[in-house]
Amino acid sequence: MAGWDQNPGSAIRSRARDTSSSEPHGQKHVVRVERVGTPVVGARGQRLAMAASRVRSRMIFLVLDALVLAVCYSLAELVYFRDRPPAHYAGRFATFLVIALVVQLTANHVFGLYGRMWRHAGIEEARQILLSSGASLALLVALYPVGRATHFVDAPLAVILVGAVFCAMAMGALRFHSRLFAWQRGSRRLGLRVAVIGSRDAGAAVVRDMLRNPKAGLMPVAVFDDDAGAHGLSLLGVPVVGGVDDIEEAAPRYDIQQVVLAIPSPPAELVERALRASEAAGVSMKIVPGVREMAGTAGNAPPMARVRAPHIEDLLGRTQVATDLEAVRRSIAGRRVLITGAGGSIGTEIARQVAGFEPSQLVLLDHDETHLYDTAAVVPGPCEQVLLDIGDRKAVFETMSRYRPEVIFHAAAHKHVPLLESHPLAAVSTNVFGTLNVVEAAAAAGVGRFVFISTDKAVRPRSVMGASKWTAEQVVLSRAPESAPYCAVRFGNVLGSRGSVIPTFARQIAKGGPVTVTDPRMTRFFMSVEEAVQLVLQASVLSKGGEIFMLEMGKPVSILELAERMIRLSGYAVGTDIAIDITGARPGEKIDEDLTASGEELLSTTHQAVYRLLPSALAPEDLDLALLELDECVATRNSELGRKSLFALAESAVFSEAVVDEVAV
């Protein structure tokens, strides 16, 4: 089909050009719309009709203003001379009235009162009315002495002042009458009865949004605030009836059907209290997102268009920390960047954020084609996709030689703790030897900056996953070129990542339970994937070479309390609607995660949320010997020996004898 155009857009443009070319040179093509019984109207006629419509609209306001001004000044004159017959002042007042009309109407034109859409008028339009009235009043007062001296204008100063005030009020009412009547109608409207938590700017914005948009079907009926000084007052006509803990008692009285938390970046304790109060009242709760969350969204959207259901992140009590994004940008902009494990949760977020810093080339590497494709689809800007397993040493070296990256983020790893307990050789092959392949290929290709994504489970590891990641840290430290900024970054659990406890709990709740918790004493550190990656990028800038960085993880979170919060967040009662079963700790799981191991010293850096560790490093010859032993285990498929070798290697630096015995059992 030789005549088929692969680009439909070009075909459309071609047809448009053909149509326009039929017109004589220099003559515009006129689109005609014909109706039965109606003459054909061209573009010029349409413009004339629109201009006539604008003139008609302005003339209507001009005439109405003239009538209003005449009435207002006449009323002021009649009140002032109420005990005298009109013959004493009518003639000279008529002259003043003409002058006042000319001055005020001219001021209205200057301040743009005849070219606005008053249906949507607000503070700015009200200000223009006041400015116009004030300017005309000032000019009339300035002319007052001249008029009195010449007897040309015989209007008392009180009449001028009072008449100007009357005129400003009347012109405002004339323009805002639709808004005033709409407010009256809104006070009697029906809709979802909403209570707002927060009486400051965010709360006022939410209340104002509901009042201005009656068609949305939302009616603010009460405001709650823990500030006792606000109780008994009203916010835009809505009463402030108490604190958050009063929601349950006030809900029946105000017939509350929904609660909106309108406090920017609320502390977790407040979110928890508000959620519990809403649950006790039998109503749902929504949250107005904070500034950071809205940064990448439609920030100009009205507040009620952005409200969302509470997320588990809102209840974990972690405060987002600031990052020196300019320093990160300088380290990435214009450079070739490669990310391994780009299809994973961390890798995807690294790719997304790195792409925003405008690297000259972004290479995404993963062994899973589906995840790799999905990541490339969400990355803003162009990227290269490389499908390979980092265990394939030859392919890794060929890739490094081909792309010659300048910065590498190595996130590829097996991370599932219980699963790797049954497959220790998979952990050794990918986490240890895969890292060895990547870091040695990077050094051979002259990569200038290398960041290895580690885990807090590498601290005093009791699992195969933790031990393999600790060994991988040693590989990075040992194989890094001298003085090159090659580093490892440790952090805890990432909210919502694949394999995380949170998606597991969500699936169990969706099925009606039970939610399984391994041990009621178990705690973990959590942070959002966005914050984790920001701090990883920050750590990469701080690296001078040979460091292990630990991110500030905040307070540990009880897994049992996390399960209870997620059940309540889903609208169920703990134990009544959804049960929690205690199943016992799985192989390799710790009760609590550690931040540092014995022999590791924690030092501060220039960033408050990034710490530098002085690690317990293995001697190069000991590491080489251990790697040979692990390689033999992989070659002979000896899983048990591979597992013991991993822990024996880690024990030489960070394990106490008691822990080794516990793990080896």
| Residues belonging to the active site | 457
d(CA 654, CA 665) in angstroms, rounded, equals 18
Task: Find out whether 293 and 231 touch, Cβ atoms under 8 Å.
Answer: no
Task: List all residues 6 or more positions away from 294 whose beta carbon is below 8 Å from its beta carbon.
Answer: 306
**Cβ neighbours, 10 Å, residue 301:** 11
**Is beta strand 486-490 parallel, antiparallel or unpaired with respect to 449-453?**
parallel
At residue 404, what are phi and psi to the nearest 5 degrees? 45, 60
Strand partners, 38: 35
In a 3-state reduction of DSSP, which class is residue 39? coil
The half-sphere exposure of 392 on its side-chain side, counting CA atoms within 13 A, is 13
d(CA 515, CA 575) in angstroms, rounded, equals 10
Short-list 501, 502, 508, 569, CA closest to 315: 569
Task: Measure Cα distances from 238 to 123, 211, 219, 220, 228 in Å.
Answer: 20, 10, 10, 7, 16
Short-list 417, 508, 428, CA closest to 457: 417
**Cβ neighbours, 10 Å, residue 135:** 17
Task: Find out whether 453 and 413 touch, Cβ atoms under 8 Å.
Answer: yes
In a 3-state reduction of DSSP, which class is residue 457? helix
d(CA 182, CA 187) in angstroms, rounded, equals 9
Task: List all residues 6 or more positions away from 116 whose beta carbon is below 8 Å from its beta carbon.
Answer: 125
In a 3-state reduction of DSSP, which class is residue 236? coil
Task: List all residues 6 or more positions away from 423 whose beta carbon is below 8 Å from its beta carbon.
Answer: 414, 639
In a 3-state reduction of DSSP, which class is residue 489? strand
Residue pointed to by tokens 């009339």: 140
Residue pointed to by tokens 């603010």: 220
Helix (H) or strand (E) holding 449: strand 449-453
DSSP symbol at 87: G
Task: Find out whether 407 and 335 touch, Cβ atoms under 8 Å.
Answer: yes
Task: Find out whether 290 and 268 touch, Cβ atoms under 8 Å.
Answer: no
Label residue 452 exposed, middle or buried (CB < 10 Å: 0-12, 13-18, 19+). Answer: buried
